[in-house]
A and B are shown apart, each in its own frame.
Chain A
């Protein structure tokens, strides 16, 4: 099967709407079809991968843990908008330490999350075959 480059644009925080979890479901489906998958977190989407989410008080599933599994599906390109972080008073240190094991480098653990400027994101988006917005 031909491989395409898919980018998933995540623009909403988790739990308030279903966009975040629906995106994650579709990401995992694309991974099952062995596509080249990237994720971008912009606007309130950056909250999806903030460290320390605890949903005990709202009776919803804390699906932020699923992001840790993405590395095992060869999804290791997670781009976060630097501008969106800054607007919200967040830094890279507030994000979950998501990693993958690099099979080309003796399975060394490497970070999956990369903070990029909007200009860099523009460039990454232009390289995609398909961009899906959530």
Chain B
């Protein structure tokens, strides 16, 4: 299953709620202010663990807009909108954590 998170983990607990409930085959795509968590995954051991398994993605346009591309962890994969569509095709309808 695909989960999208669009809130900064400094502002809301959307990412934590997502992490608390996803199964072990799900992937997470960070979008909008959610990409702030991609730059700081050291703050969330659970996200870092998922990233090390290649299960965390971030939308490149949102990362670039916030000027934090150099801060994103190497094991978080950046995708464009076409990549977003590919993830939906592969994993099915996303669950949106707002």
Which residues of A approach B to under 8 Å, CB–CB? 12-17, 43-44, 47, 50-58, 60, 62, 64, 87-90, 94
Contact = CB atoms under 8 A, between A and B. Distances in A.
B71 A15 contact: no
A54 B6 contact: no
Interface of B: 6-8, 10-11, 32-33, 36, 39-40, 42-43, 59-62, 64-69, 71, 80
A17 B64 contact: no
Most buried by B among A13, A14, A52, A89: A13
A16 B65 CA distance: 10
Contacts, number: 74
B65 A60 contact: yes
B67 A89 contact: no
Which secondary structure characterizes the binding site on chain A?
Answer: loop
A55 B10 CA distance: 22
Given A13-B66, A44-B10, A89 B71 contact: yes
Contacts of B6: 16
Contacts of A17: 33
B40 A15 contact: no
* Most interface-central of B10, B11, B39 (chain A CB within 10 A): B10
Contacts of A43: 10-11
Given A43-B10, A43-B11, A44-B8, A57 B36 contact: no
A55 to B, nearest CB: 4
Q: 3 shortest A-B CB distances, which residue pairs?
A: A57-B61, A16-B33, A50-B67
B61 A16 contact: no
B17 to A, nearest CB: 18
Contacts of A50: 66-68
